[in-house]
Chain A
């Protein structure tokens, strides 16, 4: 027997992908400014800088990177999508227009009419239109199938009434990616349809909601809003199926544990440079322990993510890999936030605009913003149920 096969944990496999990573990296290093970074995720609205940047991404063919060329995409592979996500995450930036790119676009591509594909996909790919997400309602969060918003057919339109909440980006998006109940009688999860709604249509009222993390989100009210029938996405009553079918893929792509590296490094640097009780924080046993602990969890979580991304690249059918990664990376983020606060002590509670705020107030902000991580996109409790039932095959509680 010769020396056996070694596992290879590097993420790129071939020269073409390496080249793409290089070109993308050079572009981002040139174009991505702190102002652009700031405009998205704060979701106060992409400003002119953010939009100009988005159009440049579109012009380079990177917004619709995995979509077919005749719909405005670049015909790239999953490997390209992964590289794109990683290079943004490494630079602590977000790829703009995630609802359009990761949810609306792919569903339209898979299930939309030819007319719908031609109307929306090229514009998304060029960075000309933005989407907001309209799923959650006050009485339908984890239990999304309990949604009450109704879409009733009226000749060649649907008339929509109801309310959505946490519809982040609605105040500036062009279109609302909307889920509404179209069938009064069918079982709950087979009664929902998806629509693309013009966010400025008459009858839509948007109320701002400020969050603990500082992002703006919205409550959106629909009062007899008329939507043309050709804005129904795919088939009636298939909404839930469309929403769920790529969930593992979406969850995995949104993780990007590498995003945390920058903050961790700044924290380490701060610990080395800041004195407390006459010696650097980095010499205090409690600080050393906290940083070592979070570093270990970061490394362990990244290893698992690498494995999941490899499976995705290999076109494996994901079972619960995305759900597991969302669960563990969200909990890691929160532990990192508390690690930072605990190391920075009283100074850590100072916000960015305060005198003496360390790391430009990052710790205070991050601690507030990380609260939603274990709630949005699937609460940690629900995700654990999903993993238990689908991965470990433990029985449902019926």
Chain B
């Protein structure tokens, strides 16, 4: 039994915290809302120089070859400051897609550039219904000479405007007939037929509706697998879910810290408001939800390292972190009163951040259903139409 970070992990944490406190102040987070790149160029380069983009890239591709715990530690610190921009998309989605599904040539071409921070990636996964189930991914990839042609629309694509390449999850088919497997298509930002429509999100994330109007993708830019890419992509998404939870723990911790500091300083009725029971109880309620979110997240991160993360575990973690971050921000607002409602205060950044985080990789209802499935079995037979679409059973 061992529930402490290593010296190396603590070093990552402490140095990241110190760096981000001065390099990513609230003003930067606000400014990023109107920047299609999502992250100030200087900050991005500094992070690259610190080796953050290459943290999980294997050493022979120019990275540090660190594991998931190290990533989780770093992500928690980015969450603490609401780090804007495509860091998460690139490192938690882009890099793993290349690592798990890229061929040797693709990996060699992209991973070193990713590790240096010279390449930004975004994942285009969800479609009109906003679902995560692979059976709902139907964007056709029509076989053409030397490649595929993508035609359709993706929704909620984070960081599309910052990305050098979009990784589009689509369904290859022949002559209008959809196949049973999914594949990944690397689409250059300037590809003809690619149209980005910005979605104005509550936290300023560069979110887009992306239209693929006959976008041609050469074979060289296709990532596929023998059983389709879903088994690997599913794992990538599960791990990204835990990464998101780590960020949420960091953000929630900061909210607790500023609320408690405020409660000690702010006086009303001739005493610090932190001496009033109601305020004390709010702060404790924040703490007990946060600490459970923290250790549940670390346990799941340990499971990732052990190659043992189950869907149910990931869902429980995300659902709890959704609840905790929401409650912590709410109580933080109660403690901080009027000042926390002002946009020039940092608390609204965390409110906005929590709103986006709680639907990333599945909202609570979605995760509760996954948990209920694991506890009780599915509530209804698999969708009948699936067999008509020729989907493999394991894609349901």
A317 CB within 8 Å of chain B? no
Contact in complex: B302, A7 (CB < 8 Å):
yes
B283 CB within 8 Å of chain A? yes
Chain A residues contacting B313 (CB-CB under 8 Å) are 299
Contact in complex: B64, A1 (CB < 8 Å):
yes
Find residues 253-312 in chain B having any chain A CB closer than 8 Å to their own CB.
260, 263-264, 271-272, 274-277, 279-281, 283-285, 287-288, 291-293, 295-296, 298-299, 301-302, 305-306
Chain A residues contacting B291 (CB-CB under 8 Å) are 304, 324
Measured between alpha carbons, how far is A191 from B319 in the docked complex, in Å? Answer: 49
Measured between alpha carbons, how far is A145 from B337 in the docked complex, in Å? Answer: 36
Find residues 372-386 in chain B having any chain A CB closer than 8 Å to their own CB.
372, 375-377, 379-380
The contact string, 1 if C-beta is below 8 Å from chain A, for chain B 231-265, is 00000000000000000000000000000100110
Measured between alpha carbons, how far is A311 from B295 in the docked complex, in Å? Answer: 13
Chain A, interface size category, equals: 35 or more
A212 CB within 8 Å of chain B? no
Contact in complex: B377, A381 (CB < 8 Å):
no
Measured between alpha carbons, how far is A384 from B289 in the docked complex, in Å? Answer: 13
Contact in complex: A268, B284 (CB < 8 Å):
no
Find residues 5-36 in chain A having any chain B CB closer than 8 Å to their own CB.
5-13
Contact in complex: B3, A292 (CB < 8 Å):
no
Query: Nearest Cβ in chain A — how far from B80, in angstroms?
Result: 18
Measured between alpha carbons, how far is A4 from B263 in the docked complex, in Å? Answer: 38
Measured between alpha carbons, how far is A2 from B288 in the docked complex, in Å? Answer: 34
B362 CB within 8 Å of chain A? no
Q: Which of A283, A303, A311 contacts B299 (CB 8 A)?
A: A303
Measured between alpha carbons, how far is A393 from B261 in the docked complex, in Å? Answer: 10
B164 CB within 8 Å of chain A? no
The contact string, 1 if C-beta is below 8 Å from chain B, for chain A 55-77, is 00000000000000000000000
Name the residue on B nearest A7 (C-beta): B302
B18 CB within 8 Å of chain A? no
B9 CB within 8 Å of chain A? yes
Query: Nearest Cβ in chain B — how far from A87, in angstroms?
Result: 16
Contact in complex: B368, A293 (CB < 8 Å):
yes
Known: A10-B1, A306-B3. A397 touches B276 (CB 8 A): yes
Known: A296-B316, A300-B316. A4 touches B70 (CB 8 A): yes
Measured between alpha carbons, how far is A9 from B2 in the docked complex, in Å? Answer: 7
Chain A residues contacting B368 (CB-CB under 8 Å) are 288-289, 292-293, 296
A144 CB within 8 Å of chain B? no
Measured between alpha carbons, how far is A329 from B275 in the docked complex, in Å? Answer: 26
Chain A residues contacting B288 (CB-CB under 8 Å) are 324, 327-328, 387
Contact in complex: A4, B9 (CB < 8 Å):
yes
Contact in complex: A291, B372 (CB < 8 Å):
yes
Find residues 307-346 in chain A having any chain B CB closer than 8 Å to their own CB.
307, 310-311, 313, 324, 327-328
B212 CB within 8 Å of chain A? no
Measured between alpha carbons, how far is A291 from B377 in the docked complex, in Å? Answer: 12
Known: A295-B316, A303-B299. A396 touches B376 (CB 8 A): no
Chain A residues contacting B376 (CB-CB under 8 Å) are 268, 271-272, 282-283, 288, 291
Chain A residues contacting B279 (CB-CB under 8 Å) are 394
Chain A residues contacting B281 (CB-CB under 8 Å) are 381, 384-385, 388
A272, A289, A299 interface centre (most CB from chain B within 10 Å): A299
Measured between alpha carbons, how far is A9 from B297 in the docked complex, in Å? Answer: 12
Contact in complex: A3, B292 (CB < 8 Å):
no
Measured between alpha carbons, how far is A306 from B283 in the docked complex, in Å? Answer: 23
Measured between alpha carbons, how far is A208 from B323 in the docked complex, in Å? Answer: 44
Chain B residues contacting A398 (CB-CB under 8 Å) are 275
Contact in complex: B1, A1 (CB < 8 Å):
no
A48 CB within 8 Å of chain B? no
Report the interface size for chain B: residues with CB under 8 A from the other chain: 57
A352 CB within 8 Å of chain B? no
Measured between alpha carbons, how far is A393 from B287 in the docked complex, in Å? Answer: 13
Contact in complex: B375, A303 (CB < 8 Å):
no
The contact string, 1 if C-beta is below 8 Å from chain B, for chain A 378-392, is 000100110111011
Known: A7-B2, A288-B376, A300-B293. A392 touches B283 (CB 8 A): yes
Chain A residues contacting B2 (CB-CB under 8 Å) are 5, 7-8, 310
Query: Nearest Cβ in chain A — how far from B281, in angstroms?
Result: 5
Query: Nearest Cβ in chain B — how far from A243, in angstroms?
Result: 23
A395 CB within 8 Å of chain B? yes
Chain B residues contacting A113 (CB-CB under 8 Å) are none
Chain B residues contacting A392 (CB-CB under 8 Å) are 260, 280, 283-284, 287
Chain A residues contacting B369 (CB-CB under 8 Å) are 288, 292
Name the residue on A nearest B368 (C-beta): A292
Name the residue on A nearest B380 (C-beta): A283
Measured between alpha carbons, how far is A307 from B297 in the docked complex, in Å? Answer: 12
Contact in complex: B283, A394 (CB < 8 Å):
yes
Contact in complex: B280, A4 (CB < 8 Å):
no
Contact in complex: B263, A394 (CB < 8 Å):
yes
Contact in complex: B296, A6 (CB < 8 Å):
no
Contact in complex: B295, A304 (CB < 8 Å):
yes
A301 CB within 8 Å of chain B? yes
B371 CB within 8 Å of chain A? yes
Contact in complex: A296, B302 (CB < 8 Å):
no
Known: A10-B1, A288-B379, A392-B283. A299 touches B275 (CB 8 A): no
A285 CB within 8 Å of chain B? yes
Query: Nearest Cβ in chain A — how far from B18, in angstroms?
Result: 19
Find residues 304-352 in chain B having any chain A CB closer than 8 Å to their own CB.
305-306, 313, 316, 319-320, 323
Q: What would 23 A/B residue contacts be, using CB atoms closer than 8 Å?
A: A3-B66, A4-B6, A7-B301, A282-B372, A282-B377, A285-B379, A289-B368, A291-B372, A295-B375, A296-B316, A296-B323, A296-B371, A299-B313, A304-B292, A310-B3, A324-B288, A384-B280, A384-B285, A387-B287, A388-B274, A388-B284, A394-B279, A395-B271
- A-side residues, CB < 8 A to B, are 1-13, 268, 271-272, 282-283, 285, 288-289, 291-293, 295-297, 299-301, 303-304, 306-307, 310-311, 313, 324, 327-328, 381, 384-385, 387-389, 391-398
Question: What are the nearest 4 A-B pairs in CB distance?
Answer: A388-B280, A288-B372, A5-B6, A300-B292
Besides the known contacts A303-B292, A381-B277, 6 further A-B residue pairs in the complex with CB atoms under 8 A apart: A282-B379, A288-B379, A303-B295, A384-B285, A387-B288, A394-B274
